[in-house]
Amino acid sequence: MSWPKVKLSSIAQVVTGSTPSKEDDSYFGGDIPFVTPGELDNGFVLNAKQTLTQKGANVSRLLPKNSVMVCCIGSLGKVGISGVPVVTNQQINSLILDENKADPMYVYFFCQTLKQTLVDMAPKTTVSIVNKSRFSDLEIPLPPLETQKQIAAVLEKADQLRKDCQQMEQELNKLAQAVFIDMFGDPATNPMGWPIKEIGDTFELLTDYHANGSYEVLQRNVELLNESNFALMVRTTDLEKNNFVDNVKYISEHAYNFLEKTKVYGGELLVNKIGSAGKIYLMPKLDRPVSLAMNQFMIRFKKNEAISVFIYHLLSTEFGAEEIKKRVNGAVTKTIRKDALREIALPIPPVDNQLKFCQFIDVLNVLKNNQRTISHEINEQFDALLKNAFNGELNLKAA
C-alpha cells in the first residue's frame, strides 16, 4: 500500500530560526533553550547549552513543544523534536505541525530519512544550504492520522531498543573501570600499597615526529613525501574518530622506513601533545604499516615493568586523569611536555597482576566487539524499518 504524498508546508508551518543580537545581554541566560545543530540527533530536546530570556524569544521565533527541527545549513539532515518551547538558530528549519493532519513523532521519524535527499539537493558550495522554500516543498507520505500514530509507535519501540544497545556499550566501559578499582584499589589512596613509580621509569621509548631530527631530514628529502599509499600516517583526528579508513593520509615506503622511530605496530600508549593535550589513546593493531604523525607522544613500556593496556586504564581513573591534567600548560594552545609526562608517579603493581587485568580486558573487548556488531545490525535494521515505514510497507499487524 502506498500513501498520498503531500508537501511539508501543507501539514506544518515552516519556521527558520534566528539568533537575537549577541550585543544585548538581556536576551540571553533565561530558561528558554536556544538550540543549535550540535544539540540535534538526540531525540527530544529539553535543554541546550545556550538559553534565551522571554525578551530574547520575543525578538526571534519561539517554537511550541513537539516542533520537528531539521538542520538545513552545514550538518544537513540532523533532526530533533522539541520537548519544551524552544528557539533555534538560523541553521535550523522547524515544522510546527497541524496536529489534526500529522502526528509529530511520525514526522520526526520521517525527517530522519531526509539526510541524503538534503545532501543531494544542496548546491555544491563551501557551506551546504537547503533554503526554506526548497525544504518546504519536500514531500511526505501521509496515511490517516491513526495509522501515522501506529507507525510512530513501532518506530519508537525500535528506537528505544537502539538506545538500550548504546547504553550497554557505555556500561561495558564503566565495568572496566569498576574492575580496575576492585583489583588494585583507588590509585589516589593506594590501599594495597603497590610501589609508586614514575611513568618515566616504566617505558623504554618515548618518541614523536620530531625525534631524531626526522622532520628536518624529511624536508631535505622531498621525494620521501610523495603520495604513494604505502603506510598510514596516523593523526589525532584518526584516533579521535577511531577510523583508520576514511580521509586518512599516507606516506611512501621509503619515508616509512626512514622514519624508524615513529613506526607503530599496535598496543602503544599515545598521548596527545597539543590541542586536547594529555588525552590518551591505545594504538589499535591495523593490517598495514603505520607511522605516527606529529601530534602524539608514543610510549612503549618495558616488558618487566608495565603493560600499556594496564597503564591506559590506570591513567583513565579519576586520579590518573587528574595527574595528567595538572601538567597541561598554555592558556590558548594547550600543551604537555615530555618531562612532565615522565614524572607522573603512580602505584604500579607487578606485571603478573597487571596481566590478570589485561586478560579481563581481552574478554571485555570480545564482549564489546559483539555488542558493537549487534548495535551496528540494530542500527541497520532500524534504518530499513524507517525506509519501509514511509514506503507504506510496514506490516502493522505483525508489529
CB 284 → DNA: shortest distance, Å? 17
| Three-class DSSP category at 97 | strand
- Select 91 or 148, whichever has its Cβ closest to DNA: 91
Report the residue number, 73 or 81, with the smaller CB distance to DNA. Answer: 73
- Residue 26 interacting with DNA (CB under 7 A): no
C-alpha Rg value of the chain to the nearest Å: 26
**132/326 with CB nearer DNA:** 132
Q: Across the strands, what pairs with 254?
A: none
Q: What cell numbers appear for 217 in the block?
A: 631530514
**C-beta of residue 344 within 8 angstroms of C-beta of residue 324:** yes
Whose cell is 605496530? That residue is: 265
Query: Which DSSP state fits 224?
Result: G
Site string for DNA, 257-276 (x = CB under 7 A): -----------------xxx
Cα 54 from Cα 51, distance rounded (Å) = 10
Q: Which of 294, 351, 378, 399 binds DNA (CB under 7 A)?
A: 294
Q: Which is nearer to DNA, 26 or 219 (CB)?
A: 219
Residue 89 touches DNA, criterion: CB under 7 A: yes
Q: Does position 29 bind DNA by CB under 7 A?
A: no
Which among 195-203, 331-339, 366-374, 379-387 is the span making contact with DNA, rule CB under 7 A?
331-339
Cα(279)–Cα(292) distance, integer angstroms? 16
- The residue among 277 and 315 lying less far from DNA, judged by its C-beta, is 277
Q: Which of 82, 91, 150, 317 binds DNA (CB under 7 A)?
A: 91
174 lies in the binding site for DNA (CB under 7 A): no
Kindly tell me which residue out of 1, 4, 127, 220 binds DNA, with binding defined by CB under 7 A: 127
- Is-contact 16 131, C-beta < 8 A? no
Q: Using an 8 Å Cβ cutoff, are 102 and 147 in contact?
A: no
| Binding of DNA by 90 (CB under 7 A) | yes
Which whole-number Å values give the CA distances from 76 to 5, 24, 121, 290, in the listed order?
22, 30, 11, 34
**C-alpha to C-alpha distance for 331 and 131, rounded to whole angstroms:** 40
Cβ nearer to DNA, comparing 295 with 317:
295
CB atoms within 10 A of CB 44: 12
Rule CB under 7 A: say whether 210 interacts with DNA. yes
Specify which residues 360 forms β-bridges with.
Answer: none
Stretch that binds DNA, among 30-38, 182-190, 197-205, 362-370 (CB under 7 A): 30-38
- Name the grid cell of 138: 519536500
Choose, by CB under 7 A, the member of 64, 213, 266, 392 that binds DNA.
213
Contact call for residues 122 and 135 (beta carbons, < 8 A): no
Binding segment toward DNA, per CB under 7 A, in 12-20, 140-148, 184-192, 347-355: 12-20
CA–CA separation, 351 vs 357, rounded Å? 10
Closest Cα to residue 55, out of 84, 86, 82, 20? 20
Q: Is 281 in the site for DNA (CB under 7 A)?
A: no
Stretch of 62-70, 107-115, 282-290, 336-344 lying at the interface with DNA (CB under 7 A):
336-344
Among 106, 110, 184, 209, binds DNA (CB under 7 A): 209
Q: Which residue number, 185 or 284, has a Cβ lying nearer to DNA?
A: 284
Q: Does 16 bind DNA (CB under 7 A)?
A: yes
Amino acid at position 389, single letter: A
Strand partners, 358: none
CA angle 180, 183, 186 (to 5 degrees): 65
Binding site for DNA (CB under 7 A): 14-16, 18-19, 21-23, 36-38, 50, 73-75, 89-91, 126-127, 129, 131-134, 209-213, 215-216, 219, 235-237, 240, 249, 274-276, 293-295, 329-330, 333, 335, 337-339
